[in-house]
Amino acid sequence: MDKVRFGIVGCGVIGPTHAEAIKNIEIAELKAVCDIIPERARDLGEKYGVDWYTDYDQMLARNDIDVINICVPSGLHAELGIKAAKAGKHVLVEKPIDITLEKADALIEACQKAGVKLSVISQHRFDPGIRELKSAIDSGKIGKLVMADAYVKWWRTQEYYDSAGWRGTWALDGGGALMNQSVHFVDQLLYLAGPVKEITAYCGTLAHKIEVEDVAIAIIKYKNGALGVIQGSTACYPGFKERIEVHGTNGSVVVEGPFVRDWLIKGEEKKGVSNQGESASSDPRSLFIKGHIAQIRDMAEAVLYNRTPSITGEDGRRAIQFILAVYESSRTGKAVEIKD
């Protein structure tokens, strides 16, 4: 095998991003797409010159597809992923892995039982700024970690939520600004600062007619003793670039969008400030596709060389465990301990 063959289920907002990313990877090939809305499936299939389906089972029955990219509403991720695993396909699922721990566990177990690989999209881990910051933390350059924060002050219109019946619902979106948008940056905090011991949080629905939160703030106590906060919103007009800040006893680094903004480490000169790069702060279609290219390439390499993907199902589970603890804390007014 010299190329890994992909099939995409879900041809809405994010499915085309996957298709375009696959097109840009020399070891990957798109073979088919599927959507329950015929026009979406046909349009995407014809654009990339591949077969298109409205019947997921028919696409899964093909023997020339190695990986299924799950790009459907969040609450359907595990259901369709489990089907793919049972059909012998590797699974690359969009964030979040699903909206409950029970569903996440079921998908992880199904992939393990079928002997297929599972990865959850968290493409911002591949952003150059995050990779530089991770290296600085792991090498000890930053010193003892004291704070790790994420600020995701984005904007979504009411029309965005109204454009699909599942958006902004507990049943299929599983949450709002945290579960859908800020889950990327929850994953980054866990990746950079390590596991969390306790969360205290507040959530609100302040600017949209939706069931779920459009504003959330959480105070984080990490197991290594560091503290932090995350602010996630889709109610901050006109939308601002997301920002990760990590502070240690020997230095601080701020990543804004995909790049380092501030690099202040003892013994090193400040790196150039970069305001380049895309952000989905005001428009979900404005994605930095290089991240998807990097992660889909990583999945293709995992299949070709029989290794574990860089981002696993367990990583995806930890992110939603964090978010569900935020919701519990906001609902109960109490701190919530994160259990292993």
DSSP SS3 for 103: helix
- CA 98 – CA 81 distance, rounded (Å): 10
User: pLDDT tens for residues 143-154?
Assistant: 999 999 999 999
**Across-strand partners of 201?**
218
Q: Helix (H) and strand (E) counts for the chain?
A: 10, 14
What's the half-sphere exposure (Cβ side, CA atoms, 13 Å) at 236?
16
- Ramachandran region, residue 144 (left: φ > 0; alpha: ψ -120 to 50; beta: rest): beta
Q: Give the Å distances, CA to CA, from 3 to 24, 26, 67, 99.
A: 13, 8, 11, 32
The string over 56-81, giving b where at least 16 C-beta atoms fall within 10 Å of a residue's C-beta and e elsewhere, is beebbeeeebbbbbbbbbbbbbbebb
Do 226 and 134 contact (CB within 8 A), yes or no?
A: no
Dihedral sign from CA coordinates of 130, 29, 110, 52: positive
How many other C-beta atoms are found inside a 10 Å radius of the C-beta of residue 24? 13
C-alpha span between 18 and 119 (Å, rounded): 14
Angle at 13 between CA 295 and CA 166, to 5 degrees: 115
Question: Tell me, what's the pLDDT at 1?
Answer: 80
Q: Which of 105, 211, 218 shows the shortest CA–CA distance to 161? A: 211
List, for the chain, all residue ranges whose pLDDT scores fall below the cut of 70: 269-288
CA 91 to chain centre: 15
DSSP state of 178: I
Residue for token pair 């090193």: 268
Euclidean distance between CA atoms 188 and 122, whole angstroms: 8
Residues 6 or more apart from 296 whose CB is under 8 A from it?
A: 6, 18, 21, 22, 25, 28, 69, 92
Per-residue model confidence as pLDDT tens digits over 10-29: 999 999 999 999 999 999 99
pLDDT of residue 340: 81
| Residue ranges of domains in the chain, CATH in brackets | 4-120 (3.40.50.720), 124-287+319-337 (3.30.360.10)
CA angle 333, 337, 340 (to 5 degrees): 150
The answer to whether residues 68 and 84 touch, using CB atoms and an 8 Å cutoff, is: yes
Q: Is the dihedral of CA 289, 294, 295, 297 positive or negative?
A: positive
